[in-house]
């Protein structure tokens, strides 16, 4: 049983560009949460998707957007990249009922470097 898979694992972009990160949740999971982990920091909640809708959003600008597909996979899009967007982006999957009981399964992340 595959766990949470994220792609790409590493990527480099320049300021002003756009990026799309992808996540396939663990089999059986219906909820995907995205977190940003800057160097030396803990993960910061970006948003959460369930039933193809954004259910919750953290304190991130509208440049950060997402999507969830019928097969529960998800994308994170970031427009107009800034240097400060350089971070590890983590996808976490769960059942909706497991979101706040810690039953999150994390992928290994996509490391974005903005030059």
- Contacts to another protein by CB under 8 A: 4, 31, 33, 35, 40-45, 48, 50, 55-56, 58, 90, 92, 96-97, 99-109
Q: Which is nearer to another protein, 10 or 15 (CB)?
A: 10
Structure tokens at 58: 């953290």
Q: How far is the CB of 80 from another protein (least distance, A)?
A: 25
Q: Which is nearer to another protein, 15 or 57 (CB)?
A: 57
> CB under 8 Å to 18, separation ≥6 — which residues?
77, 78, 79, 80, 81
Q: Which is nearer to another protein, 7 or 41 (CB)?
A: 41
Q: How far is the CB of 95 from another protein (least distance, A)?
A: 10
- Do 1 and 102 touch, CB atoms closer than 8 A? no
Q: How far is the CB of 19 from another protein (least distance, A)?
A: 19
User: d(Cα 30, Cα 15) in Å, to the nearest integer?
Assistant: 33
- Please work out, in degrees rounded to the nearest 5, the angle formed at the alpha carbon of residue 49 by the alpha carbons of 48 and 50: 130
């Amino acid at each position: 049983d595959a766990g949470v898979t994220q792609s790409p694992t590493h990527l480099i972009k320049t300021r002003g560009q756009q990026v799309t990160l992808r996540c396939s949740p663990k089999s059986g999971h219906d909820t995907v949460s995205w977190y940003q982990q800057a160097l030396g920091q803990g993960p910061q909640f970006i948003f959460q998707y369930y039933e193809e809708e954004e259910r919750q959003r953290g304190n991130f600008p509208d440049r950060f957007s997402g999507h969830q597909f019928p097969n529960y996979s998800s994308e994170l899009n970031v427009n107009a990249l800034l240097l400060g967007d350089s971070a590890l982006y983590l996808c976490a999957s769960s059942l909706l009922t497991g979101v706040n009981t810690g039953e999150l399964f994390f992928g290994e992340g996509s490391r974005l470097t903005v030059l």
